[in-house]
């Protein structure tokens, strides 16, 4: 990073007109560069940026030490009439109270143009907030910040004082230009009733809380104080943000959170920590909040899309950072993050999770990244490793998940379901599933199954659904009773579009790759029979009479039974 910074500074020096149009410079320090001392080259780069970019609005770094030592020190020495458009000089948000004096001096220097102000009060070892000189200086000058848009308050070093009382005073002192509050590690657990003491403020439209201690009464305070909120974000990694113990206490907290989010256009509630004693209370509370607000929006004739995404394997940034995500028109409740994946996977009860989710009515359900003792990709590469006994145990969870999903969408129309990395074996679990659930009145808009494994004969039992508009099998592995033959047996189902993106089939001791030539047998209802032959990239032909042909390496047989079917595609090619 330091070399590139030097190059950029030299470019500005050699091209003066370029500096006139540079408004923002954000310096990201490479992780591999973090232990390297700041070089003279980097310092020269900053000097050139400040010298030739006279219209700067943003200058900062993701590295707090670099920001303080290399940028702030130079800005403090700059003439008072320079950089009159500077809106932001602190990007890292990680510096400590030890740098508060420098921050205070810079903030006051650029108070006419600064758009964000960070307040970091300290009240440790018996001191009170009003004894923090640097903090009080900024607080008392807050009305001098004519361009201020965002106020950030950090409560890391406030132990005894009621931070919410201090916050209320700050909000009252701000100009109407402030529309965003960012409150970090603040203790809002004081049990006072704030509603009678507050003056409502309609200029603030966004509230962000990070790792707070948040009581029900604090939520009541925010609801009465910030009357025009349109965006709310709560993100916490704390063991117990709400400091609740019993189900009743959790229920009360989530009820207040529901009331608070009632008229907020966009809310995001992220609870990272998983604790076995209370995880079901969190799921139930989040489900009730999501469903209650969704129903409220429907009554207002607002377009409403509700989604449930669950991840039962290791999390990654591509697939999502939380195991449970309840989404409603972009608003979401996200529970149990990547740092607690091991505890979640080992102790969470899938049936009880779905019992707690019964208060939620999602239109779209995704079950992703299901973890198994045998990796799906390894099975494709090494079929000899495949063991029915070892994988049937993990299949028990898969049937519990499928059962839970079907309960959530039962008797609903227009649902869409995506199941990924599921193993479906034919065992007593599917018999229990059949006895408990029937779906004669259920219609699914789309059912997508990806990277999943199916035992012979399970499809007719698991997909005993009256209608599926769009059924997709993508990169799935089918175990078969016969060589070079795949049976899609759905005798009770009316299909709209069936899309088979074939991967491989598994017959005892070997995997079979579908060849370029297919014979497709359709059985519609009980009487209508038709056979199609299709060669990839060549014209297919339909035969009016049923022709029985065994599957061979050169002629892969696909048998499809259903009540109706409108369209069929095999491996990306449309048959009809």
- Give me the mean pLDDT over the 53-73 stretch: 91
Distance between alpha carbon 348 and the CA centroid of its chain, in Å? Answer: 19
Q: Please tell me which residue, 264 or 461, carries the higher pLDDT value.
A: 264
Q: What is the pLDDT of residue 144?
A: 96
Q: Which of 502, 501, 416, 493 is nearest to 462 (CA)?
A: 493
Contact present, 324 and 336 (Cβ < 8 Å): yes
Sign of CA dihedral 278, 283, 286, 289: negative
Q: What is the pLDDT of residue 41?
A: 85
pTM: 0.88
Q: Could you give the percent of the chain with pLDDT greater than 90?
A: 44
Contact present, 286 and 335 (Cβ < 8 Å): yes
Q: What is the pLDDT of residue 497?
A: 96
Give the chain's mean pLDDT. Answer: 84
Contact present, 357 and 288 (Cβ < 8 Å): no
Q: What is the pLDDT of residue 354?
A: 95
- Give me the mean pLDDT over the 305-331 stretch: 85
DSSP-assigned letter for residue 394: H
Phi, psi of 420 (to 5 degrees): -125, 135
**Tens-place pLDDT, residues 122-159:** 766 667 787 888 999 999 999 999 999 999 999 887 76
Query: Would the pLDDT of 503 be above 70?
Result: no
Contact present, 569 and 533 (Cβ < 8 Å): no
Alpha-carbon distance of 560 to 546, in angstroms, equals 13
Q: Of the given ranges (217-221, 253-257, 485-489, 522-526), which has the lowest mean pLDDT?
A: 522-526
- Give me the mean pLDDT over the 446-453 stretch: 92
Alpha-carbon distance of 72 to 66, in angstroms, equals 9
Q: What angle do CA 388, 391, 396 make, to 5 degrees?
A: 115
Per-residue H/E/C for 226-247:
ECCCCEEEEEECCCCCCCCCCH
Contact present, 177 and 144 (Cβ < 8 Å): no
Contact present, 251 and 281 (Cβ < 8 Å): yes
Phi, psi of 160 (to 5 degrees): -95, -35
Per-residue H/E/C for 10-50:
HHHHHCHHHHHHCCEEEECCCHHHCCCCCCHHHHHHHHHHH
Alpha-carbon distance of 209 to 257, in angstroms, equals 13
**Tens-place pLDDT, residues 391-424:** 555 567 888 898 899 889 877 777 999 999 888 8
Query: Would the pLDDT of 435 be above 70?
Result: no
Q: Which helix (H) or strand (E) holds 497?
A: strand 485-507
DSSP helix/strand/coil, 538 = coil
Radius of gyration of the chain from Cα atoms? Answer: 31
Q: Please tell me which residue, 267 or 525, carries the higher pLDDT value.
A: 267
Contact present, 468 and 496 (Cβ < 8 Å): yes
Q: How big is the chain, counted in residues?
A: 576
Alpha-carbon distance of 542 to 106, in angstroms, equals 79
- Token digits for 473? 């099998």
Q: Please tell me which residue, 449 or 93, carries the higher pLDDT value.
A: 449
Query: What separation in angstroms does the CA of 82 have from each of 26, 45, 59, 109, 271?
Result: 19, 18, 13, 10, 44
Query: Would the pLDDT of 227 be above 70?
Result: yes
Contact present, 184 and 153 (Cβ < 8 Å): yes
Q: Which helix (H) or strand (E) holds 346?
A: helix 341-347
Q: Which helix (H) or strand (E) holds 342?
A: helix 341-347
Sign of CA dihedral 85, 89, 93, 97: negative
Q: What is the pLDDT of residue 226?
A: 96
**Annotated domain spans of the chain:** 1-95, 376-574
Phi, psi of 187 (to 5 degrees): -95, 110
pLDDT band at 436 (very low <50, low <70, confident <90, very high): low
Alpha-carbon distance of 368 to 425, in angstroms, equals 18
Query: What separation in angstroms does the CA of 135 have from each of 143, 151, 156, 178, 571?
Result: 14, 13, 14, 18, 65
Contact present, 205 and 178 (Cβ < 8 Å): no
Q: Please tell me which residue, 363 or 541, carries the higher pLDDT value.
A: 363
Q: What is the pLDDT of residue 265?
A: 94
């Amino acid at each position: 990073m330091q070399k590139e910074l030097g190059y950029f500074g030299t470019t500005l020096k050699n091209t003066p007109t370029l500096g006139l149009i540079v408004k923002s410079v954000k310096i990201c320090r490479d992780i591999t560069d973090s232990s390297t001392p700041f070089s003279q080259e980097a310092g020269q780069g900053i000097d050139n940026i400040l010298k030739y970019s006279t219209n700067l609005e943003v200058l900062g770094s993701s590295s707090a030490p670099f920001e303080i030592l290399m940028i702030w020190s130079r800005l403090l020495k700059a003439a008072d009439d320079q950089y009159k458009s500077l809106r932001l000089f602190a990007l890292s948000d990680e510096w400590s109270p030890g740098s508060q004096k420098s921050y205070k001096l810079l903030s006051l220097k650029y108070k006419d143009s600064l758009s964000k102000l960070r307040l970091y009060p300290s009240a440790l070892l018996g001191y009170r907030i009003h004894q923090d000189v640097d903090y009080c200086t900024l607080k008392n000058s807050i009305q001098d910040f004519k361009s201020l848009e965002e106020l950030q308050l950090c409560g890391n070093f406030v132990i005894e004082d009621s931070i919410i009382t201090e916050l209320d005073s700050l909000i009252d002192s701000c100009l109407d230009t402030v529309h965003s509050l960012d409150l970090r590690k603040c203790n809002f657990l004081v049990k006072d009733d704030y509603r009678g003491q507050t003056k409502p403020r309609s200029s603030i439209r966004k509230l962000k809380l990070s790792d707070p201690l948040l009581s029900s009464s604090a939520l009541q305070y925010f609801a009465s104080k910030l009357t025009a909120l349109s965006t709310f974000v709560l993100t916490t990694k704390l063991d117990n943000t709400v400091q609740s113990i019993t189900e009743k206490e959790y229920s009360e907290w989530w009820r207040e959170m529901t009331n608070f989010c009632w008229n907020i256009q966009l809310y995001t509630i992220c609870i990272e920590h998983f604790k076995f004693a209370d995880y079901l209370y969190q799921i139930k509370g989040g489900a009730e909040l999501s469903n209650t607000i969704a129903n409220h929006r429907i009554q207002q004739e607002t377009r409403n899309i509700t989604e449930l995404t669950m991840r039962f394997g290791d999390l990654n940034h591509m697939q999502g950072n939380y195991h449970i995500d309840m989404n409603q028109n972009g608003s979401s409740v996200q529970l149990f993050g990547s740092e607690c994946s091991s505890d979640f996977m080992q102790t969470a009860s899938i049936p009880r999770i779905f019992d707690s989710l019964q208060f939620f009515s999602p239109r779209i359900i995704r079950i992703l990244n299901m973890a198994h003792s045998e990796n799906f990709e390894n099975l494709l590469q090494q079929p000899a490793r495949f063991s029915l006994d070892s994988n049937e145990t993990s299949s028990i969870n898969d049937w519990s998940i499928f059962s839970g999903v079907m309960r959530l969408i039962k008797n609903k129309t227009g649902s869409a379901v995506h199941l990924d990395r599921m193993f479906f074996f034919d065992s007593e679990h599917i018999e229990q599933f059949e006895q408990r659930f029937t779906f004669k009145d259920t219609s699914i808009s789309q059912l997508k199954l990806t990277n999943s494994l199916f035992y012979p004969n399970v499809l007719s039992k698991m997909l005993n659904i009256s209608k599926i508009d769009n059924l997709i099998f993508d990169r799935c592995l089918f175990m078969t009773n016969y060589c070079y033959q795949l049976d899609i047996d759905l005798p009770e189902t009316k299909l709209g579009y069936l899309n088979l993106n074939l991967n491989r089939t598994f017959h005892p001791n070997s995997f079979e790759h579908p060849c370029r030539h297919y014979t497709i047998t359709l059985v519609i209802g009980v009487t209508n029979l038709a056979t199609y032959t299709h060669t990839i990239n060549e014209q297919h032909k339909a035969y009016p009479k049923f022709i029985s042909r065994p599957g061979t390496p050169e002629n892969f047989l696909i048998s499809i039974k259903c009540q109706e079917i409108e369209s069929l595609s095999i491996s990306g090619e449309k048959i009809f």
